[in-house]
Amino acid sequence: MITSSEFRINNMFFLQLKVIAVDGRLRVIFEDSINFDKDLPEFGTQGGVYMHDDRLSVSSPVLMWIKVRINLLFMLPVLFEYQHGSVYWKEGASSVLQNLSPVLPLHQSLKNCFSLSNSPVWMDSSTAAQCKSLEKKAGGAQKLADITGSRAYERFTGNQIAKIYSRDPEVYSQTEVYYFLKESIREKVWNPLCLDACAPQLGKKLGQPVPSSKILGLISPYYTERFGFNPACKIVAFTGDNPVDWFSLLYCHCTSYNEIKHHLQCTS
């Protein structure tokens, strides 16, 4: 068990998932990676993704993400996220998650828990129509940026959800929970205009945004029994890849916590 360390994981165009562990002085103490195509050939990806016939839609199998996560747990106790990847939990998935058997591998337990088995990723550029529609309903690209911090981009999850709703409403109706969508950068709540522009009753499927520092609860018994995690381990909401990258630069260049805090206050 490695303690008092900070962990950082990068995905390199989805070719591989790489983990680098550094100590409090930013010295590398562990490094390893898993290549999606080579180490998980059963999913048949190329570059970690499926390129669809229209050459615009790009997705990855959700079960591959779960399996690579478990493989990394055998190397190091670490969690990760994918850049602009979205997961679509089917109705009833929450019940399955609450009753996981530590005897079974996680990808086997969750194989029927997703309304969309192949999730769109950041390389997807198939939602141009949804982007135009969202910007129009918001009052233009600049108005949308004022609300969310960005104009509409094809890889963003809100536009992906809008595409799924328009093309396969049954998949949308079967989805219990979605991750992730843009929130209002000022109010820290989902913006009703953006929600309605994407799909009906989307707010109910997303739940309420919470601060990145919020403790959501204790780790699942599945991880304590199968991998030996401490039952007192707390799960924190955390934040996205871009804020973390920005904060890591502050950490490297600032000389004290107070200096970091000052920068954060000036930009909040």
Alpha-carbon distance of 76 to 20, in angstroms, equals 10
- Which long-range contacts (C-beta less than 8 Å, at least 24 apart) are formed by 74-81? 75/19, 75/32, 76/2, 76/7, 76/19, 76/21, 76/30, 76/32, 77/1, 77/2, 77/227, 77/229, 78/7, 78/9, 78/19, 78/21, 80/9, 80/11, 80/17, 80/19, 81/9, 81/240, 81/241
User: Cis link prior to 36 (omega < 30° from 0)?
Assistant: no
Longest pairwise C-alpha distance within the chain: 53
pLDDT, tens digit (0-9, with 9 covering 90-100), for 39-79: 999 999 998 999 999 999 999 999 998 888 777 766 543 33
Q: Is the pLDDT of residue 173 over 80?
A: yes
pLDDT, tens digit (0-9, with 9 covering 90-100), for 4-43: 333 333 333 457 777 777 777 767 788 888 889 999 999 9
Record the pTM.
0.77
